[in-house]
Amino acid sequence: MCGRLLRRRIQCGCGGFMLSTLRTMIGGSTSQKNAGWAWKKLCQVKDRLKEGFNSAGWLGNVYSISKVYKWIQGPHQDVSWYPWVWNRFNIPKQGFILWMDLQDRLRTRSLLVDWGVCQDNVCLLCGNAVESREHLFFDCDYSRKCLSGISEWLGIPETDFSIDRSWKQWGKEVKDSIKRKICLAALAAMVYQIWYVRNKALWLKVVIHPRVVCKVICTEVIQRCKQMINCRWRRQHCKWLHSLQSTSCR
């Protein structure tokens, strides 16, 4: 198709959308069959908000976008890990993988076997057990070595070796809020790196040494946390971060 013809078709399409939009606006109804899909969606939101104005009493009070957003979302269960996952100290991609893991949405081999996608459910990192969420984080010998290395680096005694309990234990161990955020960012980075290494083992048939994984985690955490330094940080925080940096390459 030549460029001129394509441009004309796009213009015709936009014209059709605008015409249907104007008709709907004039008609004041969402039931117009020839209205564009985008406008129908907008009208659905408008109708929903109309319900909020009537039932939630927004007309009598100061209008707040945050209140409306929460109203549209509806009731949802609060989760204790929310401040850990959606924290600025975490690199966003690491927070996302952590969020997936905490909801058991990572496609581990035990899940894939249950779904009939693959036949082999053995852990790709140690080869000694079924690869489930509980095994990867952190029943697996491989991931335990990584966790031990990082907990030693941070000066936190690790006893639980379970993603669901370790982050709570770390939170209790570290009283200072900034130091706690740094430690939990390291744990988030650990989940990401173990999942990354596991995928690398699957696709490239290569298992990276746990010491190398620990070094990557240390480097990423230090770099990220340096970006988080602001006026709330005290000298002791900066000194501690500097000491972490000097001990991360051992």
Specify the residue, 102 or 126, whose C-beta has the smaller distance to Zn ion. Answer: 126
**Rg from Cα positions in the chain:** 26
Specify the residue, 123 or 187, whose C-beta has the smaller distance to Zn ion. Answer: 123
Number of residues counted as binding Zn ion (CB under 5 A) = 4
Is residue 189 within the footprint of Zn ion (CB under 5 A)?
no
Task: Tell me which stretch binds Zn ion (CB under 5 A): 83-91, 104-112, 139-147, 164-172.
Answer: 139-147
52-64 exposure pattern, b = at least 16 Cβ within 10 A, e = fewer: eeeeeebeeeeee
The pair of three-digit structure tokens given for residue 49, joined into one six-digit string: 């908000």
- How far apart, in whole angstroms, are the C-alpha atoms of residue 179 and residue 236? 10
244 and 156 Cβ atoms separated by less than 8 Å: no
> Which has the closest alpha carbon to 130: 112, 106, 105, 104?
112
Specify the residue, 43 or 126, whose C-beta has the smaller distance to Zn ion. Answer: 126
Q: Which of residues 34-93 bind Zn ion (CB under 5 A)?
A: none
Specify the residue, 29 or 128, whose C-beta has the smaller distance to Zn ion. Answer: 128
> What is the DSSP code (8-state) at residue 137?
I
CB of 202 to Zn ion, least distance (A): 13
CB of 190 to Zn ion, least distance (A): 15
174 and 214 Cβ atoms separated by less than 8 Å: no
Task: Tell me which stretch binds Zn ion (CB under 5 A): 14-22, 113-121, 140-148, 183-191.
Answer: 140-148
> For the chain, where are the alpha helices, taking DSSP H only?
3-27, 37-55, 65-73, 82-85, 92-102, 109-114, 133-134, 141-154, 163-173, 177-204, 210-227, 235-247
CB of 127 to Zn ion, least distance (A): 7
Q: Which of residues 109-138 bind Zn ion (CB under 5 A)?
A: 123, 125-126
CB of 212 to Zn ion, least distance (A): 17
CB of 87 to Zn ion, least distance (A): 28
Pick the binder of Zn ion from 140, 190, 191, 244 (CB under 5 A): 140
Instruction: Name the residues that contact Zn ion, by CB under 5 A.
Output: 123, 125-126, 140
